[in-house]
Amino acid sequence: MGELTDRAKGLANEAIGNTKQAAGKATNDASLHAEGVVQERKGELDQAKGKVKGALGDDI
């Protein structure tokens, strides 16, 4: 995947993760909240991967 693809995927995962966290808090569902935290972290990693690819090129 390219830099922009990784960054877009990361943003999407962060947004979905934040939504799951909010829904988990609102419904007092700890597992949904935890799932949201994990998905948000995955999105942050995807974005970091995209930044590295942008700095070093897509050939990594």
Residue with tokens 């877009």: 8
pLDDT at res. 44: 96
The 10s digit of each residue's pLDDT in 1-60 is: 688 999 999 999 999 999 999 999 999 999 999 999 999 999 999 999 999 988 887 555
CB 46 within 8 Å of CB 6 = yes
Full domain range(s) for residue 51 = 3-56
pLDDT at res. 58: 53
pLDDT at res. 54: 87
pLDDT at res. 59: 58
| Cα–Cα distance measured from residue 35 to residue 8, given in angstroms and rounded to the nearest whole number | 20
Number of folded domains that form the chain: 1
pLDDT at res. 26: 97
Helix and strand numbers (H, E) in the chain are 2, 0
